[in-house]
Amino acid sequence: MHLNPYGADAVLLAVNLVTNPPLTPAELAARCVESGIDESHVRDGQVTAEDVATVRIVLDEWLAVVDASDEQKRVDLVNEMLAKYTEHPRLTNHAGDGWHMHYRPFRVPVWRLVATLISTGTALHLVGRGISRLGRCAMDGCEKVYADLSRGGKQRYCSPACSNRDAVRRHRARTA
């Protein structure tokens, strides 16, 4: 069985990259490998400064999806990303590692690989988990992004630390 690289890992890669943007090709390559992208796609020297710069543009587009004011706007923005960065799905066994699906040609620049993964992964995340399952942290002063992977779909904070700080703040406000 081949794992789906277009699932939650792709959305978490987007969260990771917007939270702490890579500044160098080596940083982008390392983050891609950490997120589960096959190392053969991001070997040393394959990731360029252009990839880093273009991934930032893709992430700005993705942040517009996160910050969309309503469901229809979010859907429209995801559809724009899908139209721009993906192609018709195709079965492939390019590395002899089993049949699986790709939404891009086999050989593309790293920025395009990341853009395809993020746009397709986001679409699958929103359809599979709920259209509102992306957002910004509810803690005052925190602008970090989260992808809600919780069972109940009630995530409002980027981390347990922000959730705890906000709970303490609310408690102190009630008891003051």
Read off the pLDDT of residues 86-113 as tens digits, 9 standing for 90 and up: 988 888 887 777 887 778 777 789 999 9
Q: In 3D, which of 35, 24, 26 has the Cα closest to residue 147? A: 35
Tokens of 138: 């509810």
> Please, what is the average pLDDT of the chain?
90
Lowest mean pLDDT of 21-30, 36-45, 59-68, name the range. 36-45
Residues 90, 104: Cα–Cα separation, whole Å: 8
- CA separation for the pair 136, 157 (Å, rounded): 7
Give, in order, the Cα–Cα distances in Å from 141 to each of 83, 144, 162: 34, 9, 10
CA dist., res. 67 & res. 143, Å (int) = 11
CA 33 vs. chain centroid, Å, equals 14
Give the whole-angstrom CA distance, residue 34 versus residue 22: 13
Confidence label for 3 from pLDDT (cuts 50, 70 and 90): very low
Query: Using the 8-state DSSP alphabet, how is residue 146 labeled?
Result: E
pTM for the full predicted model: 0.88
CATH T-level fold of 8-131? Jann2411-like fold (1.10.3300)
148 pLDDT more than 90: yes
Q: What's the Rg (C-alpha) of the chain? A: 18
Q: Which two tokens stand for residue 90?
A: 């195709």
Residues 60 and 145 sit within 8 Å (Cβ to Cβ):
no
> 101 in helix, strand or coil?
strand
pLDDT recorded at residue 43: 75
